[in-house]
Structure 1
Amino acid sequence: MASTAERPVRFLDVDGPLIPFGASYDSSTSVPSVAQRNPLLDRLDPGIGPRLLALGCRLVWATTWMEDANEAVAPRLGLPKLPVVEWPDTGADEGPRGLHWKTRPLVEWADGQPFIWVDDEISAMDRLWVAAQHPGASLLHRVDPAKGLVDADFSALAGWLAAEGAG
């Protein structure tokens, strides 16, 4: 496996990819402390954590959950504490129309290194902008927010990593 510095960054969003919006939810089975904080945490699949780690990427939170992802999400997935992308204040130059507000900060954070961004809000404009602005390899993979990360998504990620010589 490549060293930490050579492994692609894997930007993790929470809502949609890790907490699917379409998952069934039965509040009667919730642990009260979890339900009081955020009942959607019950939708996390603990089996996803080991699968994310097995990809061999440097995992980074890229979510509005910010540091809360380390406190509430990571332990339920068996993930260690991860770095967190700090989002700029609103009102910053957002770029061309249709560019997701996360796109520019993620490219800046990657700083030319290969990266994977999995989110449920990636658009064609994001792909075009990254291709023009990021000198390294990148994979912008849109996840169906009703399902979250599924086998096909993990296959696509592993295939890209293998093609890039990082998997």
Structure 2
Amino acid sequence: MTGSAQRPLLFLDVDGPLIPFGAAPERYPSFATGSHSPGDDANPLLSRIDPAHGPRLSALPCEIVWATTWMADANECIAPRIGLPRLAVVRWPEPSDTEEQDERDGLHWKTRALVDWAAGRSFAWVDDEVTDTDRVWVAAHHPGPALLHRVDPRIGLTDGDYVALEAWFREQTRVPGR
């Protein structure tokens, strides 16, 4: 398939979008999954992940890719909790002088790697650290459509986030003339 025929990508972060943090601990509900997932004992924050995210993410017309420091652990610990299959994982490059300068200039350390990974494909990036600096850089360096969607880390993904993502993905997959 060529870039235009492929489904858009959804680069998904874990901490913030799926595991809310930063508010008072008593504010977060705890979700039981009915099964024991790897990492449950090692990371009590996993209980904050709402299993309803899996079906909602799966319903989006896109290819989901983990874009998180959890790396392959997202497939071991997160995916089973929410009913997702094993997903592709962005491999982060070793820090370089370029990335260090980017961070000093306000560009997120993930931004260049995600644009490289997308290789011109349409993509949405869901993260709690996206800024306008990232949006400007992506607009200047990525030839395809891109949505950089910031999620409030204290709340995580909400109905409003899913509405915005669904609308954007539907627009990207719309066939002209239909």
Structure 1 residues without counterparts, runs of 5 or longer: none
Q: What is the letter of the counterpart of residue 147 of structure 2?
A: L
How many residue pairs get matched? 161
CA distance in 2, matches of 1:117, 1:92: 24
| Structure 1 range deviating more: 87-96 or 156-165 | 87-96
Q: Provide the TM-score with structure 1 as the length reference.
A: 0.89
2:70 pairs with 1:65: yes
Task: Give TM-score, length-normalised by structure 2.
Answer: 0.83
After superposition, the CA RMSD in angstroms is: 2.3
Structure 2 counterparts to residues 125-136 of structure 1, below 5 A:
125-136=133-144
> Alpha-carbon deviations, 1:14-47, whole Å to 9, x = none?
0000001145267xxxx7x855310000001000
- Could you list the runs of 4 or more consecutive aligned residues of structure 1 that deviate by over 4 angstroms after TM superposition? none
Match among 85, 89, 93 for residue 84 of structure 1: 89
C-alpha change, 1:70 and 1:92, in structure 2 (3 Å) is farther
* Secondary structure in 2 matching 1:127: helix
**Cα distance, 1:166–1:77 mapped onto 2, change above 3 Å:** farther
Percent identical across equivalent pairs? 58
**1:164 partner SS:** helix
Residues 1:121 and 1:98: Cα distance change in structure 2 (over 3 Å): same
- Structure 2 residues without counterparts, runs of 5 or longer: 31-35
Q: Distance in 2 between matches of 1:53 and 1:35?
A: 23
Quick check: 154-163 or 129-138, which moved more? 154-163
1:8–1:166 Cα contact (<8 Å) kept: no
